[in-house]
């Protein structure tokens, strides 16, 4: 085990679990449902898509779908619908619809290359492992179960009322309290600039995963350590 690092806190979507295909299908189905069942106009859907960074085949880099919490996304959508339609579906209803589609059994969830090697290796080496995600708890647990990863994690930080969203360092501190670690003994691994700011705010080490969805040039310029495959952190941090 590395002398310094004793715990590793991972972002979930785009870092451990495939992001674009899964969430594009979820958001696409939700927009279709809003139009078909709730009468949301094509014009309003266009505004929702633009604000969300939603594209026909994916998402814009650093879109709110990538870094914002489910609650933050719902707040934005609810306000847009209210402004454009003159009526509101309500945050609770939108959150319920979002979660129900995210939990649909026939939407495939898969881990990213290298994850199935990395996570069991780290656990066997004695590292304490955690998740820090903008996703809701139900959705986070669902995707970790579907990929067979849930049992490896000692901590799951997610979108809940008493949890501050990244880049607030709160989830690092919660992970440390639960595992009896210090921030300087933690490595944060993520795929967004928000994850990098999260690590900086908490005083942890950081490894940035370079993907097609993030601001790659900015990540390479600012992050001390970057990887193109998640399991490269084993060598780069001597884990």
Last residue of some domain: 102, 125, 153?
102
Measured CA to CA, the distance from residue 171 to residue 229 in angstroms comes to 24
Residues in the chain: 239
pLDDT of residue 61: 82
* Assessment of whether the complete model's pTM goes beyond 0.85: yes
* Residue 133 and residue 226 in one domain: yes
pLDDT of residue 3: 64
* Residue 113 and residue 66 in one domain: no
- Split into its structural domains, the chain has a count of 2
26 touches 204 (CB < 8 A): no
* Residue 25 and residue 40 in one domain: yes
* Residue 178 and residue 216 in one domain: yes
Percent of the chain with pLDDT over 90: 82
More confident site: 94 or 224: 94
2 touches 237 (CB < 8 A): yes
Q: Is residue 1 part of a domain?
A: no
pLDDT tens by residue, 179-225:
999 999 999 999 988 999 999 999 999 999 998 777 888 888 888 89
Measured CA to CA, the distance from residue 58 to residue 237 in angstroms comes to 32
Element (H, E) at 12: none
Instruction: Give the strand order in the sheet containing 128-136.
Output: 155-159, 128-136, 7-10, 186-190, 205-209, 225-227
pLDDT tens by residue, 165-188:
999 999 999 999 999 999 999 999
Give the residue numbers spanning the domain of 162.
Answer: 7-18+109-236
Last residue of some domain: 82, 102, 122?
102
Q: Is residue 12 part of a domain?
A: yes
pLDDT tens by residue, 23-48:
999 999 999 999 999 999 999 999 99
**Mean pLDDT of the region 121-148:** 96
């Amino acid at each position: 085990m590395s002398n310094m690092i004793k715990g590793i806190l991972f972002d979930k979507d785009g870092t451990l679990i495939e992001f674009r295909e899964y969430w594009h299908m979820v958001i696409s189905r939700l927009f279709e449902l809003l139009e078909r069942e709730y009468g949301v106009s094509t014009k309003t859907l266009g505004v929702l898509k633009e604000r969300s960074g939603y594209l026909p085949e994916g998402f814009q880099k650093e879109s709110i779908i990538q870094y914002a919490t489910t609650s933050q996304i719902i707040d934005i959508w609810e306000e847009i619908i209210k402004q454009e339609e003159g009526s509101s579906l309500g945050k609770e209803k939108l959150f319920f619809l979002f979660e129900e589609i995210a939990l649909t059994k026939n939407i495939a969830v898969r881990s990213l290359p290298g994850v199935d090697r990395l996570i069991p290796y780290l656990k066997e080496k004695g590292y304490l492992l955690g998740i820090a995600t903008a996703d809701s708890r139900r959705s986070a647990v669902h995707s970790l179960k579907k990929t067979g990863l849930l049992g490896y994690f000692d901590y799951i930080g997610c979108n809940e009322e008493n949890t501050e969203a990244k880049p607030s360092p709160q989830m690092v501190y919660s992970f440390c309290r639960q595992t009896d670690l210090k921030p300087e003994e933690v490595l944060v691994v993520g795929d967004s600039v928000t994850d990098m700011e999260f690590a900086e705010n908490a005083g942890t080490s950081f490894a940035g995963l370079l993907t097609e969805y993030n601001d790659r040039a900015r990540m390479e310029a600012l992050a001390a350590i970057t990887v193109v495959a998640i399991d490269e952190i084993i060598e780069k941090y001597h884990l």
